[in-house]
Every structure is written in structure tokens, then in C-alpha cells.
Chain A
Amino acid sequence: MNGVLRQLPLAILAAWSLAALLAPWLPLAPDQIGLARILEIPQPAAWLGYDDLGRPVLDRLIVGARTSFIVAAAVVFLSLLVGTTIGLFSAWFGGWFDRVIVFITDVFLAFPGILLAIALAAVLGPGISNAVFALAAVGWVGFARLARAQALSVKTLDHVTAARSLGSGHWVIARRHILPLVLSPLIVQATFELAGVVIAEATLSFLGLGVQPPEASLGAMIRDGTRYMLVAPHMVVAPGLAVFIIVLSVNLLGDRLRDRMDVRFDDHKQ
């Protein structure tokens, strides 16, 4: 890829996070109902047109992107924190503790994709915090697996043995002597997880299990849009394109990060 094109994903991500941070201060009217302009197509006054209640699609898109940013960031942060801690200590202590953790992760991994999150969201009821909880309850497993596998290979290294014989505690060894060596694959994983959570949150909202109306969410916008697809295709095209572009950019950055940070993936570079 040439220069400008290469920076595009980064620019898109910057725009996404800026929109998320600045949305409360932008002059947006995402819930402004206007019955006179229902389903109007894109025009200079509203770049992405109006929805079935005459609300500006662009404004709702920005607010929806903000929701998806907040959910994705919270879920990835929680999953990374919990999963890494559990994985590191599972590898470090070994024995029955390790076996129990491995069994628990095996059981969690037996629920394909976001099925468990769908079940949790269904039981807990819709809402942002429930969606975050449901997705993090599924997300930590991958990090725990990866952290455990990485830590297993690091824990026998000489500097860890040295720290141990000098009397360092479990927490200090895990945090200062093991974590720094296993962090880069975890960060790469976190990037891909971010893309996964954006899709997962939108899926939950699409199924009516995530963010509730009138709050804007990309998934819910697509669901509402499908009902008016024939008369107002912009209602479906705009939010879908937003999800697509965000996910694509995050994945592209993840690929680059992996090439740069993780030596072990060298054979996939080509």
C-alpha cells in the first residue's frame, strides 16, 4: 500500500475516537423528531438524510458510533484485565488451579461466537451496561488462553527463577517479570477483539438485546432501516457502512501491529 492509503485506517480510527469523545459537545440533534421531513433523502441540510421519525441520520450515526466506541473500549479493557490476570496466574501456579481454569475456559469456548452473550443479554435485559457485561463475560476467555500459553513458556526463563530465589512474591513476579514479556501478542489480540466487539455490540442491538431506543446505536439503526429499505435505502446503507469501515480499519491496523510487534507471526507476513 502506498503512503496516503496506508494512513487511512489510522485517520478513520482517529475520527471515530474524536467523534466519541467530542459528541456531547457537538451541535447534534439525534433525537429531534421532525414529522415534516420523514425519510427524506440526503441533502445539504442533512448529509445522510432523515429517518422514519424525521431525525437526522448523520447525527444519530455519530452518537451510535460513540456508543459502539464506549462499549468496545470498556469490553476490551475489562476482558484484557480479567483474562490476562487469570491466565498469568493459571500458568504461574499450575497444578489443580490451572486445571480448573483450563476447564472453565473450555466450557466457555464451547459456546460458539457471541451465543453466550446473547443468552446473558436476554436474561439480564437490554441496556448498555448489560451489553458490556455480557460481552466481557465472553471476551476474557481468549485473553486468558493466550496469556496462559505465553506465560507457560516464559515462567521457566532464568530471570524468573532468579526473581523467585530472591524471594519476590507471586504478584511482583507476574506483573514485573512475566507480564512485560507476554504483553505484545495480547495487545495484538486486543486490537482484533476491538473489531469483534464492534460487530458483536451491533449484533446485539440489531437483535434488540443491546442499546434501547430512543438511544442511537449502529445495530439498531440498521434494524430500523431494513423496514424502510425500499423507500429510504440511506437508513440502512449509512450505519452499515460505518460499522464496515470501522471494523475494516481496526483489522488493518491489527494486521500491521501484528507484523511489527509479534515476531512469531513472521511466517504469515509474506
Chain B
Amino acid sequence: MLRYIALRLASSALVIFGVSSVVFLLLHLVPGDPVEVMLGESAGVTDREALREALGLNLPLWQQWLQYMQQLLQFDLGVSLHSKRPIAGLLAERIPVTAVLAGASLLLALLLAVPLGVLAAVYHNRAVDRGAMVFALAGVAIPNFWLGPLLILVFAYWFGWLPVSGMQGPASVILPALTLGTALAALQSRMIRTALLEELGRDYIRAARARGFSPLRVIGRHALGNALLPVTTVLGLQLGALLTGAVVTEQIFNWPGVGQLLIDSIQKRDYPVVQACILFISLTYVSVNLLTDLTYAVLDPRVRLEAE
């Protein structure tokens, strides 16, 4: 077990190292001079050189990279070119806001997907099942940058039940969470259905039924427990879609999270902030997947035995 954890930690550390280097290269090997972008074409030569020196851009690339890695290890993300504030502080303000949105979407997705997937499996090939599968197909195909505006149109403008955008009070999270969570709910309901169908065909379920347990107990306690295990691993991977989806959703609903910071900074060409946002989102994704894998290994001994 310890060996598995050590291996998994080491490979994640290597990936994090790779990700940081890619993000560094991405913003340093691009065509165009960042100094020119920051100061504009009319800036004088001395100003340019001064800024170049201040940013360390006059050093060879490998030295810049070393410097960048050193700063990263000290959680020093640099300073925003636009607001001149430390980026770590900027991110710290935004992270909880995105976390609220992601958490609410996840919750909403599961609240939709679990009952739907279970009903579809229990009433296999019946109307409920067909309906659930139509939802699964449509939910994946509907782009969130369209679903968001549609939800605003219907629930905020026509019915006036919910706020249009921004972050005021608990009600304002409902529409963004629905926008972001629908695709996840669609995928999950399909997976839960498939996994549960597989479990329901096994012998221990027949045995449980033969012993006279109520259907609720057989499905809820025996089958669902086993069916949900593989579903949770995929949840970690799907969090990736949730994180990029948040970039779009925050844009639609004017939700002041990391995604909005990213797009704002792209428009302002505030590259250090862009770098920090991309890095933060990727590292969150890697960490969550590491945690999912480790949890899974604890829950299911077969996983770690295979890896060893």
C-alpha cells in the first residue's frame, strides 16, 4: 500500500513539474515581445530595457526557467501587470468563488444523476429508461455557453424566479450550477445506469432477492454500493470538464471566479496572471485525480495489487 502511494505521488510530482514547465514555455516561446505588449509600441528604448531587466527577460531562457521554478516552489506567483497586485492574493480571492460554483454543480449533478441512473436501470427498456437516455444524450450535446443564456432567458427574464447574473445570495448559484452541472449529470446518469445494470445481473443480487429482501434494500444497499465505486473514479476525470466549463460559465453569469480572472487577463494581456490561472486549474485537476486514485486504492484492494 505504502509502495503504491509512493509510486503514485512520485509520478504526480513529475507530471506537476512537466505541467509547470509547459506553462512556462508556452508564455516565453511565443511570437511577439511581451515587453512590447505591456508598454505598447510607442514606448522608449530605455523604458523597454528597464522593464525587461525588472522581469528578468534579458537572461537566457534556462535561467529564467530556473528562476520561475524557484519562485513557484516558494508559492511566489509574481505580480499582475495590470493591477500591480501579487497574483497569489488575486487567486486567493477567486478560488473560493469558483469552489462554490464547482461544488454546487457537482451536488446538483449527483442529485440529478443518481436517481435518474437508478430509475433507468431498474426500469430497464421502459419509458423511464428511454427518457433518462434521451436526457443523457442531449445533456452531453448541449453546449454550456448556450444552455446558460437559455436558462437566463427562461428563469430569470420570463419567469423572474432567479437572478440574472452576478453573485448575490444562495439563489444566484442555481442557474450557473445548472449550466455547469448538466453535462456531468448526463454522463453520470448513463454510467450509473450501465454499472447498476451490470451489478443487478450478478448472483449475489439473485441471492439477496431469494432471501426475501425488499427491492429497495437489494438495490439501495447491495447493488448501488458496488455500482458507485467505478463511477466515483470517473468523477475525478470529469472534474476536468467541470473546471474548463467553469471558465465559460463564469463568463456567462459574471461569476467572479478563477475562470473569469483568466479570460479578463487574456483580454488585458496580463500574461503572468494567465500563467498562474492555467497552472492553478491544472494542478487542481492533477491533485484531485491523485486523491481519487488513492481513495480508490484504499477502498478496492485489487487496484493497488495490480499496480504493484
The interface on chain A, measured as residues whose beta carbon lies within 8 A of the other chain's beta carbons, has a size of 47
Chosen A-B contacts, 25 in total, with CB atoms closer than 8 Å, are: A103-B14, A106-B11, A107-B19, A110-B16, A111-B22, A111-B278, A111-B285, A112-B240, A113-B241, A113-B243, A118-B278, A119-B278, A120-B26, A123-B26, A123-B271, A124-B30, A203-B145, A206-B248, A207-B248, A230-B153, A233-B153, A236-B153, A244-B141, A251-B137, A270-B197
Tell me which of A106, A124, A202, A268 contacts B194 (CB under 8 A). A268
Task: Give Cα A222 to B27, complex, Å.
Answer: 29
Interface residues, chain B, with chain A CB atoms under 8 Å away: 11, 14-16, 18-19, 22-23, 26-27, 30-31, 124, 137-138, 140-143, 145-146, 149-150, 152-153, 157, 194, 197-198, 239-241, 243-245, 247-248, 251-252, 262-263, 266-267, 271, 274, 278, 281-282, 285-286
A172 CB–B CB distance under 8 Å: no
Please determine whether A111 and B149 come into contact, CB atoms closer than 8 angstroms. Answer: no
What's the minimum C-beta distance from B291 to chain A, rounded to whole angstroms? Answer: 14
Q: Label chain B's interface by main secondary structure.
A: helix
Please determine whether A115 and B30 come into contact, CB atoms closer than 8 angstroms. Answer: no
Please determine whether B143 and A229 come into contact, CB atoms closer than 8 angstroms. Answer: no
Known: A103-B18, A124-B30, A203-B248. A225 touches B194 (CB 8 A): no
Contact partners of A124 in chain B: CB under 8 A: 30-31
A185 CB–B CB distance under 8 Å: no
Contact partners of A203 in chain B: CB under 8 A: 143, 145, 248
What's the minimum C-beta distance from A5 to chain B, rounded to whole angstroms? Answer: 12
Please determine whether B27 and A195 come into contact, CB atoms closer than 8 angstroms. Answer: no
Contact partners of B271 in chain A: CB under 8 A: 123
Interface residues, chain A, with chain B CB atoms under 8 Å away: 103-104, 106-108, 110-116, 118-120, 122-124, 195, 199, 202-203, 206-209, 219, 222-223, 225-226, 229-230, 233, 236-237, 239-240, 243-244, 247-248, 251-252, 267-268, 270
What's the minimum C-beta distance from B187 to chain A, rounded to whole angstroms? Answer: 12
Known: A106-B15, A230-B157. A118 touches B149 (CB 8 A): no
Please determine whether B282 and A118 come into contact, CB atoms closer than 8 angstroms. Answer: no
Task: Give Cα A129 to B261, complex, Å.
Answer: 26
Residue ID in chain A nearest B285 by CB atoms: A112
Task: Give Cα A106 to B14, complex, Å.
Answer: 10
